[in-house]
Structure 1
Amino acid sequence: MSTLEIDRVRKAYGHLEVLKEVSISIGTGDFLVLLGPSGCGKSTLLNMIAGLETITGGEIRIAGKAVNDLSPKDRDIAMVFQSYALYPTMTVRQNIEFGMKIRKVAQADRGRAVKTASDLLQITHLLDRKPSQLSGGQRQRVAMGRAIVREPKLFLFDEPLSNLDAKLRVDMRTEIKRLHARLGTTIVYVTHDQIEAMTLATRVAVMKDGVVQQLDEPQAVYDRPANVYVARFVGSPAMNIVPAVLEAEGATVTAVIDIANRPPARIAGITLSPEAVRRYAGKKVLVGIRPENFSIASGDIPPSLTIDFDVVEPTGPDTLAVFQLGGVEVTARLPPKQAHAGQEAALSVDTSKTVLFDIDTETRID
């Protein structure tokens, strides 16, 4: 069992509290991504799991065993760093088997482990080269191979793709996902890239200022963000957050949004619990709309609002159209050639995917 339990873990440097009672639990074979901007505490948390940083408070358990006081070598983990951390004077083969030599693993067993890992990562033809003769993607594969041969309970990845160019990042992302599917190992992965989080994770922990804002499956984080911060951080372009007033007539809930020099937008058919309707009817709220949930109104889809496009950005597969709504700049993702700068357009909104937030706490309203 390769479970990981992070139980009310704190980290402080003097009076500066970097992690504030973080609690995360994942099961065997899960792929946890710690997602957040620089300075949110995600790398510090990873280093604490690895034993590279001490814990101020709380407990970390790997496979049910508390590891707070164990050294890194006794935690049965393997770590892949952003910088690869390969020995430049050693060959690929020597780099991969170095840890096994230190642990006095028999030569025959080392050979079998190196062959298995190199075949899995498709680097067998590179075994006699030095790191200086490899590309960035190849070096990262070698670093992963070195981790694989340890057969640890837990793999830790610290922003492993950030030094690669865009195409290599996509390729290596696929390799890591394939590796996880084949090995079924438990992985904790740190990144600030929400595309990596969405494509790789089985669980995502979105962090801000040392606090986990939301821990959930990637699609749930995207569709039902816990608060405005998560809504804006996950998704590209980000979720549009627009001030509105909530109207309720029986079970029908409508968000009314001001539009300059035009009638207000009326986004009807929003689903809310009866309790939320009682609390927020007639009050100001924040409406969250993903760019792809706008569409050009047609005979089958009645319009929710009429606006003028300010800026249009063709991307190839779609067009990003920018306009003003509720006094803020909003982006819609539309099919190619459906939007032009200066054009008046009637738009519809998919209310089944509209999210409401409390205007004061910025937490999701259900």
Structure 2
Amino acid sequence: MATLDINRVRKAYGKMEVLKEINISIEDGEFLVLLGPSGCGKSTLLNIIAGLEEITDGEVLIGNRVVNDMAPKDRDIAMVFQSYALYPTMTVRENIEFGMKIRGIPAAERAKATQQAAEMLQMEGLLDRKPSQLSGGQRQRVAMGRAIVRHPDLFLFDEPLSNLDAKLRVDMRTEIKRLHQRLGSTIVYVTHDQIEAMTLATKVAVMKGGVVQHFGPPQEVYDRPANVYVARFVGSPAMNIIPGRLLASDGAPSVAFDTPSGEAVLHGISLSAEAARHYAGREVLIGIRPEHCARDPQGAVPVGVDVVEPTGPDTLIVFSAGGTEVVARLDPHATEVGQQDRFAVKTEKVVLFDPETEVRID
């Protein structure tokens, strides 16, 4: 187990810059998720940490050791790939033991480590099978077992659940969470799935275009996204971004936006006095999470319901506001299409963004 520090890291292929001044630090035992769409640079960053890609500029430190020029085998890491990367002619036991065998670890010690990993991952009955006899989830367990027996300073996971169906992804997510809790290991995990990021991470780095857009605890990323991109990328349904304006006021800040059914005014917005003075009377982007809306006859937001989408435990309501489509997450059977209604909003949860820079206003 070890700390990880990524300082001013850049990666370029000729004139094409893939990573731009990446700065991330995590403590021993933390679970870092690199989150973003395809092409954002997250896998390239993981490969740089692993030593599979050369760095253009900056430093990578694992446990306070600069590893820029260190070979992958000397970095004391273990990597779990999306494709499992198992040897098809070997049994599960042989796959798990293979790395230890190459390093000259005695047979008895190999057997003990393999048995412990199998018990931890609940695959004792699979040790004598070949990979072709296993399901996708079982193969991923074997790949994790092979990593565990190395007792590395750092575990690296490269989209390990992408090839699994929805139910298996949920099951394996739980296994990885349980593994982290048992081992207390330092993990870096790459994914494009924001649910995986929210459920697994102690820290999330949301990436776009080779730049970290927001780095912090998952709840902070969800509640106080650094910009509009993060607000829309994290959350399902995404945060509503509604064009509106900050009202000039001597009291607590208020915002207003238009709906086809009339003007909505939200009072008691959380905002610093300096920001309130600077943006008073100006246009802003109003960020509201779908679950922070509730049906209320006395609510501040008049709406005409355009679409109702029942999901079972709740219902998604779609209506227009500020010239854009807005989604509210309500109790089941809350309302009907075409109905004129009023919604209340948890104003203490509202986030404001600058309409030009799209950066959060504090």
* TM-score, normalisation: structure 2: 0.99
Q: Partner residue of 1:292?
A: 291
Q: CA RMSD in A?
A: 0.7
- Give the Cα separation in 2 of the matches to 1:322 and 1:52: 46
- Give the Cα separation in 2 of the matches to 1:63 and 1:251: 50
User: What amino acid sits opposite 1:8 in the alignment?
Assistant: R
Is 1:307 aligned to 2:310, yes or no? no
Is 1:61 aligned to 2:57, yes or no? no
Checking the alignment, whether the CA contact within 8 Å between 2:36 and 2:207 is kept in structure 1 is yes
User: What amino acid sits opposite 1:296 in the alignment?
Assistant: R
- Give the Cα separation in 2 of the matches to 1:340 and 1:33: 39
Checking the alignment, whether the CA contact within 8 Å between 2:249 and 2:280 is kept in structure 1 is no
- Give the Cα separation in 1 of the matches to 2:287 and 2:270: 13
Match runs of 1:42-191 below 5 Å: 42-191=42-191
How much does 1:259 deviate? 1.5
How much does 1:85 deviate? 0.2
SS of the counterpart of 1:312?
Answer: strand
Q: Could you tell me which runs of 5 or more consecutive residues in structure 2 were left unpaired when the two chains were aligned.
A: none
User: What amino acid sits opposite 1:96 in the alignment?
Assistant: I
Identity between Structure 1 and Structure 2 (%)? 69
Checking the alignment, whether the CA contact within 8 Å between 2:157 and 2:189 is kept in structure 1 is yes
Alignment: residue pair count: 362
SS of the counterpart of 2:248?
Answer: strand
Q: Partner residue of 1:330?
A: 326
Checking the alignment, whether the CA contact within 8 Å between 2:283 and 2:355 is kept in structure 1 is yes
Checking the alignment, whether the CA contact within 8 Å between 2:287 and 2:353 is kept in structure 1 is yes
Checking the alignment, whether the CA contact within 8 Å between 2:52 and 2:72 is kept in structure 1 is yes
How much does 1:83 deviate? 0.2
How much does 1:252 deviate? 2.1
Q: Partner residue of 1:197?
A: 197
- Give the Cα separation in 2 of the matches to 1:139 and 1:314: 36
Q: Partner residue of 2:265?
A: 266
How much does 1:339 deviate? 1.7
- Give the Cα separation in 2 of the matches to 1:328 and 1:181: 43
Q: Partner residue of 1:276?
A: 275
Residue deviations 1:60-81 (CA, integer Å, cap 9, x gap): 0000000000111000000000
Checking the alignment, whether the CA contact within 8 Å between 2:295 and 2:341 is kept in structure 1 is yes
How much does 1:253 deviate? 1.3
- Give the Cα separation in 2 of the matches to 1:220 and 1:339: 31
- Give the Cα separation in 2 of the matches to 1:249 and 1:51: 55
* TM-score, normalisation: structure 1: 0.98
How much does 1:250 deviate? 1.1
